[in-house]
Each structure stands twice: as structure tokens, then as C-alpha cells.
Amino acid sequence: MNNNQESLLACHDLTMSFQEGILHVDVLKGINVEINAGESVAIIGSSGSGKSTLMHLLGGLDLPSSGEVIVDGEKMNNLSESERGKLRNRSLGFVYQFHHLLPEFTAEENVAMPLLIAGESVKKAKSAAREILDKVGLAERIAHKPSELSGGERQRTAIARALITNPKCLLADEPTGNLDRDTADQVFELMMELQRSMNSALLIVTHDIELANRMDKVFKLENGLLVLN
Ligand SMILES: Nc1ncnc2c1ncn2[C@@H]1O[C@H](COP(=O)(O)OP(=O)(O)OP(=O)(O)O)[C@@H](O)[C@H]1O
Ligand SMILES: [Mg+2]
């Protein structure tokens, strides 16, 4: 648990390399970052600079080549796969670059999923899902499957799913990447609003510098390193 330090998400000297045949690529070369409660941070950087790679490491979806990730005071590297999964489910919400909703389930079922995985009853999970879908403006769409939702609605459903466990830290990888200007604005504001009201940490990858500038800090990922923009 979080002792005296305030940071909800941190990494130290994080590196990640990929070996493709004879080609060795050092994507991340020593990343250090700390995000505190109530803080919002944007990461920008060109395509292929390693933004998604970094998000996957911070979210405990992959393990780094070296360095460590600390989530709510717990070192990810020291945990077994299943313990990492539990920590992820308890403390992190992840919005993927492509929403990753389950196509055969309704919006309500998709959003309820993290609670069901955590062992909550179907009745409670569904009722919580309806409540949060209402917050993101989708009360009328709970019975729709992803293919029956618009792009912005899918993204809002994915945000609702990431928030249903009241995560201390919300990680979003280009959540507004494939949305039009107005919808992107709405989705972004919604995340900021929810983050402020929960005093959680928010980390967003975006190509949109205008949106990035509304956050507390903006970092650029360049040549494998994070620099303050
Ligand atoms: N599993 C993998 N195996 C080999 N190389 C990989 C793997 N995952 C990512 N890479 C390489 O790492 C680099 C960074 O990829 P990443 O997806 O993190 O970029 P990104 O900054 O998110 O780009 P985009 O803005 O296009 O989403 C790319 O050159 C990619 O080819
Ligand atoms: Mg990416």
C-alpha cells in the first residue's frame, strides 16, 4: 500500500527492447516518471516512439527489459502474474488505443466485467455499470453491443469500464484518436472531470497537443526518453 509517498504510479529507469530476427530495437532507454493523486499527465510523441509500449509496462500488461514500475506503492516486478492481475484490477483502469470491448456482450455487460472478475455479484455489477454508463451519457445505450454503438459511444463505454472499479490511476492510450474534434473534446473533458472528482491520477497518450496542454504536465517521448515538453 501507499506509505508516506504520494505517488500512485511511478517508474524508475524503465527500459524495453525488442528483438525481431537480427534486428534489435531499444524502444525505451530509461524512463522515470511519477504521478501523484489528483495529477494529470499527457504523453505525446511521434508514431512508433514507444508510447503504447510504455503504457503497457505502466499498466502491468507487459514486463520491462529492466527497471521497475510501482503502482500504489507496490513493485510490479516482485509480483506473480496473478498478483499483478489483482493489483491491476484493484488500482488501475486502462483505456486501450482501440477500445477492446468484447463484441458479443452489451455495453452494460462490458462495463460490469471488471467487477464480475473481482468477484462481485451479477446484480451489483450490473447496477454499478448502469450508474456509470449514465455518468458518461449512455443510459439509453446499455443494451447495445459495440457494433451498435458509434465510435464516441464505444470510447465512452471503454472509459466507463476502466472507471467502474474506482481505480486510483487511469491510463488511456489515445482514447480520442479516432474521434472527430467535438466528440474528442467531450470524451477528454469527461475523463478529466471524473479524474478530478475521484482525485485519481490520470495518464493520457495523445497526438492532440491542444488537449495535452489542458493537463497538469506534458511529456514528450523522444529517442526512448521522456522529456518535459
Ligand atoms: N511486440 C513487439 N515486437 C517487436 N517490436 C515491437 C513490439 N511492440 C512494439 N514494437 C516496436 O516498438 C516501437 C514502438 O511501438 P509503440 O506501439 O509503442 O509506438 P507508439 O508510440 O504507440 O506508436 P503509435 O503512435 O503509432 O501508436 C515500434 O517501432 C514498434 O515496431
Ligand atoms: Mg500507440
Q: Is the CB of 27 under 6 A from ligand 1?
A: yes
Domain boundaries, the chain: 7-71+81-228
What is the C-alpha separation between 180 and 220, in angstroms, rounded?
23
63 secondary structure, DSSP code? -
3-state secondary structure of 173: strand
For ligand 1, atom 8, the nearest C-alpha belongs to 53
Give the global pTM: 0.91
Q: Is the CB of 19 under 6 A from ligand 1?
A: no
**In this structure, which topology does domain 7-71+81-228 adopt according to CATH?**
Rossmann fold (3.40.50)
- How many CB atoms sit inside 10 A of residue 22's CB? 5
pLDDT profile of the chain (229 residues), mean per 10 = 68 95 93 94 96 95 94 91 89 87 97 94 97 92 96 92 92 87 86 88 93 95 95
The DSSP element (H or E) to which 25 belongs, if any, is strand 23-36
pLDDT one-digit tens code per residue, 92-122: 999 987 778 999 999 999 999 999 998 999 9
Q: Which ligand is nearest to the CA of 46?
A: 1
For ligand 1, atom 9, the nearest C-alpha belongs to 53
